[in-house]
Structure 1
Amino acid sequence: MTRGLGVLVVLPVLAMLVAAGPVAGAAPEAPVTRCALRDRTLDEVSGLAVTPSGPAVVNDSGNATVVYTLAPNCSVASTRQVGVTGRDVEDLARSDGTLWLADIGDNDRRRSNIALIRLPVRGGPTVLRLTYPDGSHDAETLLLPADGRPVIVTKDLGGRSGIYATDVPPTAAATTPLHRVGELDVPLSSTEGGPLGPFGRGLFTGGALSADGRVAAVRTYTDAWLYPVTGGTADDVVAGLRAAPVGVPLPGEPQGEAVAFTADGTLLSAGEAGDSGGTASLRAVPGAAGLVGRAPQTATPAPGSPESGDPPSGPPVVVAEVVVGAVVVLGVLGGVALAVRARRRSGRSRR
């Protein structure tokens, strides 16, 4: 390959790698396994929240809508029947002592509305229905700030998912409309694990806010991505998601779908056992919340996103796929350059 051609191709590839990478800083600790989820009723854990009685989890579609509180060894310490049946509960949050079950899953994208199930410490549940402005979406991530306005991140193929929020706290009186308020790109990752190999690194499967509301975690099957949040509103959460995140690798989980913070900033993760027949675990990354700075640097809105003011420019592309494609192009161009040089040498030898 000629030097000029190599520079012209390699520089854009390096630029993409730099732009796609997470914030550099102190490396997070490796996840520590606290205990294994051996109880078969916990085979499809999709949501996790921390309560005074211990970690609480919920299962997703096809299971009874029940909140399970775990003992220190991950056995089931207590169960609470919710009283209503969710269609596909995919996340769990806790705010002011109240549990919120996110009935937002929609693998086939057929639901006309989704729901949050509000479960107070005492008393029965309240179903709060929400609707998207642009058709059905599959989602597994709920972030619930102090102002009671939910932020939902969809689970979209292609490395870019929608961020939706309500203008007001939802009520049971009527279906509350969601608004598309941004997009969230999956950062580049090489963490191994999950049920889908490299594709699992590009799908958002759960979320949580830290106890003080200053850090938002959005996870994939293989990593948690931590964003700084400056206030207690949905607008603050959305603004934080525009910052460059801190990456916390969560390798080796069969099907990681749940994440939560303890009061001291430890990040907890859990998930399903997966189709491999393995055993899922409750794992912890101490001090994870402390890795995130308190002042987010707002990133440039993505072209075609609502906040950019630009018209959509085409289908989203996974950053990793772009890099792989660039490397393939680099290889092809290199082969062409070598072939040209060989032909020139052959011509000179004949002369």
Structure 2
Amino acid sequence: MLAFILVTCCAAGCAASSDYPLMKLDIVDSRVLPNVIKESSGLFCTPEGAVTINDSGNDTILYFLNETGRIDRNVRLDFPNKDIEALTANADFFYVADIGNNRGNRNYVSVREVDRHAYKKTKTLRLTYAGNTPSANTPYNHDYDGEALTAKDDKLVLFSKSWDSGDARVYEIAPAPKSQKLTAIATIKGLPGIITGADWDTLNQRFLVVGYNSNLLGVLRPFIAIVDSDYQVVSVSPLERFGQVEGVCARADGEVWLTQEKSPLQDARLIRLKIK
């Protein structure tokens, strides 16, 4: 996969530095995650800690983490994991986003609504992208992929992983109907890489997005960015010393939690930070 990241990110200019103001970060803690969640992709903060889920090739299980990265409990869900890449929630439901489409060959992706108390699926939203022609897409070199979903007000907000253009597309997903064709409501330009995670920071009324780019040696360089409610980039910061960051969530106490997937060079980690 890193070979594809290298080729496509260089083609799309993903490695270009950002022109936006740098934010200042304090790393509060960084802990190695248990091996069973070495492919943590989605992350949602709760008052007790956070909930995460692994991506494709793994069972569909919610893992409840405390602030040390320890798993307090887990819940198995009753649907398969084709390519789950994001997790968010509101007061009543989890939303499990099976939206990964690196190869560009999926005719539709899906978001499953899961009752937060019974842990049963209550609805599946089947999503297609306006303008997407899977047979015409080149793997790892198209704009119909996604790994970032968050809940804001009464809608879900999906950020594309735009391999080709490098400009993230923003889509809103309504609670109904069950089948929806998505048309971008905004485009985010100038980020220093592709978006792999997002959360709506209710406390500060802003989006937090994370992602990465690749240099010529295939080394991933992650970043975090603040995006305002009008989808304009406010500030960006590199996440130095870290790697394949894919999950992000904002806590009510002001901390921001991230999860990093295991890679040949780094362990899977729970990272806790504060934005100054």
- With the shorter chain as reference, the TM-score category is 0.7 to 0.9
Q: Deviation string for 1:265-323 (max 9, x for gaps)?
A: 211111201133x312211222x3xx6xxxxxxxxxxxxxxxxxxxxxxxxxxxxxxxx
For 1:1-351, list aligned pairs within 5 A. 21-23=19-21, 27-37=23-33, 39-123=34-118, 124-125=120-121, 126-135=123-132, 137-147=144-154, 149-157=155-163, 158-166=165-173, 168-171=174-177, 174-187=178-191, 201-212=192-203, 214-221=205-212, 222-229=222-229, 240-241=230-231, 243-276=232-265, 278-286=266-274, 288=275
> Are the structure 2 counterparts of residues 212 and 117 from structure 1 closer, same or farther at C-alpha, using a change threshold of 3 Å?
farther
User: How many Å separate the matches in 2 of 1:186 and 1:268?
Assistant: 24
More strand by share: 2
4+ aligned runs moved over 4 Å, structure 1: none
SS of the aligned residue for 1:83 comes to coil
| Uncovered stretches (5+) of structure 2, i.e. residues with no partner | 1-15, 135-143, 213-221
Q: Deviations over 1:251-274 (max 9, x none)?
A: 222311111001022111112011
Residue correspondences, number: 239
SS at structure 1 position matched to 2:87: strand
RMSD: 2.1
Q: Supply the AA of the counterpart residue of 2:25.
A: E
Paired residue secondary structure (1:183): strand
Structure 1: gaps spanning 5 or more residues: 1-15, 188-200, 230-239, 292-351
Q: Deviations over 1:76-130 (max 9, x none)?
A: 1111111111311111112124221111101111111111111222231132211
Displacement of 1:213: 6.9
CA contact (8 A) 2:225 2:233 kept: no
For residue 280 of structure 1, what is the amino acid of its counterpart?
Answer: A
Between the aligned residues of both structures, percent identity stands at 24
Whether the 8 Å CA contact 1:23–1:244 is kept in 2: the answer is: no
- The answer to whether the 8 Å contact 1:256/1:269 transfers is yes
Which has more helix, going by share of residues? Answer: 1
Normalising by structure 2, we get a TM-score of: 0.79
Greater relative CO (CA pairs within 8 A, separation 6+): 2
Describe the shift of the 1:228–1:264 C-alpha distance in structure 2 as closer, same or farther (beyond 3 A): farther
Q: CA-to-partner distance for each residue in 1:28-78, whole Å, 9 max, x for gaps?
A: 2232324221x2111101111112332111110111111101133312111
